[in-house]
Structure 1
Amino acid sequence: MFHLTYEFKLKPTQNQIAIFEDWLEQCRRVYNYALCERKDWIKSRSCRINACSLHSQYIIPADTPRPTYFNQSERLTQAKNKYPELKKVSAQVLQQTLKRLEKAFVAMWEQKHGFPRFKKPGKMRSFVFPQLGANSIQKRRINLPKIGWVKFHQSREIPDGSTVKQAHIVKRASGWYVLLIVQWDVDVPQPTPQGKALGIDVGLTSFIATSNGLTVKRPRFFIDAECKLKLLQKRVSRKRIGSNNWHKAQKKVAKLHEYVARCRKDWHSKLAHQICNDAGMVFVEDLHLVGLSRSILGKHCLDAGFGQFFNILEQTCFKRGVYFQKVDSRKTSQICPSCGVETGKKELSQRTHACSNCGYTTDRDVAAAQVVLQRGLAAVGHTVKMLAEGKFIGVPMRQESSCL
């Protein structure tokens, strides 16, 4: 199976927008009620068996099973008799909301994410149709269950022989969008290690530095828009909360955030294609991105968007047949790429790598990228001395090489 996601902008009518808004509110209420059930059950088991809390205690029978996606889905059917407004929403959409909560708890247990939070009014911005009917897309329209035909901007054709499996409706500051998950019953071979190899090191001074000596300066998307964002947020704080002017001012803030995010994503995509132009293998660092976002330079790390860039680069490499792999990121800036001797920790102000053992000197980030390249080649069983068409597959450490 092969899946791709196609994103299109919807052109709903005012009546359809009202239905979308109502469905989002019903999904929010179901999410919060299910989360409250789980939270109460957990709190009722939080104290010792022979003692109760000094303030208050949730008393739930001991034989009550833990709330899960399955038993909450069963009670959702019963809740429709008590709350008729739930009948207006597709049953599968509400079930997907409960599944979304289940995934949040699994991420908390397995990936050490935070405890799921309640959704405030307006914070639920998407819902999912897990399956669509046959011939659900015709002439720039999509047929959504219980809503009907909705027009959308079809910027590109959906390939023949594919099946639309899911439709994800998303509300953004610039309008409503639909994300279509398209499936093909084919097996796509993974790219194999071949051709010219390239190691990449990411940073804040230079966004990327490659093993062949190329450095790209980091654009400061959020920092450049921070002054305008501060002005718009000040206008929001001066409006009465809940008023029409308050909503309009908030929408301007959201549009600016969306514009910054789109500029960053567009730049990442162009850079990823530039990297894949002359590379057959790409190796990057396997960074702990959560730790970087919580450091003293967290705002700048989030503005750079290392995680998004790695995801886009991996997808671009897959589409263009370039081998992509992450390697260990420990001490990449403390090892000499020429002789392999550990040179010790460098201060952030020290931008040049100078090995006291062999005398090799180069840019600090370029040296780290060359170490990443060596680790990547070792991981795939290659060596720097292998030749391809009379040229080095890997970039020799002491020879000139062409930039991207």
Structure 2
Amino acid sequence: MLLTYQYKLNPTSEQVVTLETWGELLRRHYNYALGQRLDWLTRTRCQIDRCSLVCEPIGDIPDKTDYYTQASGLKQTKELFPEYKNIYTDCQQQNLMRLDKAWKRWLVPDKNGKRGGRPRFKKRGDICSFTFPRVNSPKAGAHLTGSILKLSKIGEVEVILHRPIPEGFEIKQATILRKADGWYTSFSLEDKTVPNALPVNEIKTATGIDVGLEKFLTTADGQSIQVPQYYRKAQATLARQQRKLARKTKGSKNYQKQLSKVAKLHLHVARQRKEFHYQVAHWLVNSYDLIVFENLNIKGLARTRLAKSILDVAWGAFLQIMQAVAVRRGKHTRGVDPRGTSIDCSGCGERVEKTLAVRVHSCSCGLVIDRDWNSALNLLKHKSVGLPISGCGGLEVAQPVKQQVSEVNLRCAP
């Protein structure tokens, strides 16, 4: 099992300059390597027996460029540009590996036939992280001793260990990254043991969750959590700070100070949202052995007029966090097709057509419940085929009829 623990660093002013210099040099190298790959692609994508009607590059056709050819050229790079000798070699190789992964995601489709976007050239400040692939090994560039992280060619940096590293976990690599409020290190921890998943025949509690914009989610037993709307609540403050930024002379020291204030506000909102997601995920995993959710097309929904609200609740990030927490606890999660969950009646199965404005499900069979509650019941009742569970959140719970939705209030960061 792999975990990532992030800790804040307390570098000196000289070390901060070194870290920023490394980021800028690695950005330039990344752009140069990407230019090599794009040049090779441009010169070789046309068939040998015909030419383009628009334009055609001239000159010798270069050899195919990949990670190995570019990594072998690091020695020549250091001879031409001596400042690269001050960067740990493994960090430069990891920088080229990042480019190689982005390049392959663009050209090679995954198992679903989807490909990533074309790699872009990085502008100043885009690369604000670099990785030491080995930690605490004889030839490693990073060594953690107590609360001191010793980095090759940088020196000893104080680490604020706000929580201990779990026993039995081995630190595989360390990534140094910059955020709006300072420098951090992310340790990738590995444990050889794998949590044992709960046997299917021992599942005692199960639920379906329906996510939404009026309520963050509603469970199959009628509990709901309100949407915190962290971004919308911070909009007025953000707008005021961004107006101040627009009045500054771009590139000046006052501009940089105000830009840092705006970045810190965005970082604060993101941290509030992430903490809320973890609180909800832990509450669900502690309460249920099986959680059924909808496989929504979130990217498509984010292109509608509700884009701001959808991106504010961040369903995709929450579902990833929930699944990760469930794996660590040995619980089960299952994504299902969301079609028909809001329209079909959870009591009799009859289709009850309604618009998004109608928030109450009322069926001729006498079932009158909240629309989201009905959807959560359908997720559990009709979509969990092959699992030994009932349709109402557990093995011993009967289906509720004509009941009000209860609310669960979580204590979140202000």
* TM-score, normalized by the shorter chain, greater than 0.5: yes
Report matched runs for 1:219-258 at 5 Å: 219-258=228-267
1:387 deviation in Å? 7.7
Aligned with 1:108: secondary structure? helix
1:399 deviation in Å? 8.5
Gaps of 5+ in 1: none
Q: Which residue of structure 2 lines up, in the alignment, with residue 52 of structure 1?
A: 52
Report matched runs for 1:4-403 at 5 Å: 4-47=3-46, 49-54=49-54, 56-59=55-58, 61-62=60-61, 64-109=62-107, 110=109, 111-134=114-137, 136-193=143-200, 194-344=203-353, 346-356=354-364, 358-384=365-391, 388=395, 391-392=396-397, 396-398=399-401
Question: What letter matches 2:105 in structure 1?
Answer: A
More displaced stretch, 44-53 vs 111-120: 44-53
Gaps of 5+ in 2: 409-414
Question: What letter matches 2:15 in structure 1?
Answer: Q
Q: Deviations over 1:339-384 (max 9, x none)?
A: 223334x32211111234x342211111111111124531535444
CA distance in 2, matches of 1:119, 1:272: 35
CA distance in 2, matches of 1:253, 1:307: 25
Change (3 A) 1:179 1:385: closer
The 8 Å contact of residues 325 and 376 in structure 1, kept in 2 or not, is answered as no
Alignment identity in percent? 35
More displaced stretch, 300-309 vs 112-121: 112-121
Aligned with 1:367: secondary structure? helix
Aligned with 1:377: secondary structure? coil
CA distance in 2, matches of 1:53, 1:233: 47
| RMSD, aligned CA | 2.4
The 8 Å contact of residues 209 and 292 in structure 2, kept in 1 or not, is answered as yes
The 8 Å contact of residues 207 and 392 in structure 2, kept in 1 or not, is answered as no
Question: What letter matches 2:256 in structure 1?
Answer: H
1:95 deviation in Å? 1.2
1:192 deviation in Å? 3.6
More displaced stretch, 10-19 vs 277-286: 277-286
Change (3 A) 1:363 1:387: closer
Q: Which residue of structure 1 lines up, in the alignment, with residue 412 of structure 2?
A: none
CA distance in 2, matches of 1:59, 1:338: 70
Question: What letter matches 2:93 in structure 1?
Answer: Q
1:46 deviation in Å? 4.8
Change (3 A) 1:221 1:86: same
Question: What letter matches 2:10 in structure 1?
Answer: K
| TM-score, length basis structure 1 | 0.90
The 8 Å contact of residues 368 and 402 in structure 2, kept in 1 or not, is answered as no
1:151 deviation in Å? 0.6
The 8 Å contact of residues 204 and 394 in structure 2, kept in 1 or not, is answered as no
Change (3 A) 1:217 1:27: same
Question: What letter matches 2:88 in structure 1?
Answer: S
Aligned with 2:239: secondary structure? helix
CA distance in 2, matches of 1:387, 1:120: 53
Aligned with 1:133: secondary structure? coil
1:285 deviation in Å? 0.9
CA distance in 2, matches of 1:22, 1:172: 16
